[in-house]
Amino acid sequence: MTQLLEKAFAKASELSEQNQNAIAEIVLAELASEERWNDLFAKSQDLLAELAQEALAEHRAGKTQPLECDD
């Protein structure tokens, strides 16, 4: 565990039980969200590669136009 996380937990341990539980719920929800995102991203690699190949094929076939972006 990092020193910063230890410091955060030490500070949180000084709070009421209700506030400690609220913080725990937030942390656990964030960790679960991160895990879901990682799983979805890992599962999408094949689809992303396929879409990239399609985009490159369209570009090579002259079916694309340059984007005009303002600086």
pLDDT of residue 67: 87
For the chain, give every domain's residue range: 11-59
Mapped onto helix, strand or coil, the DSSP state of residue 44 is coil
pLDDT of residue 17: 98
pTM given for the model: 0.61
How far is Cα 14 from Cα 31, in angstroms, rounded to an integer?
Answer: 23
Query: pLDDT tens for residues 10-67?
Result: 999 999 999 999 999 999 999 999 999 999 988 898 899 999 999 999 999 999 998 8
Instruction: Compute φ and ψ for 64, nearest 5 degrees.
Output: -115, 165
pLDDT at 71 over 80: no
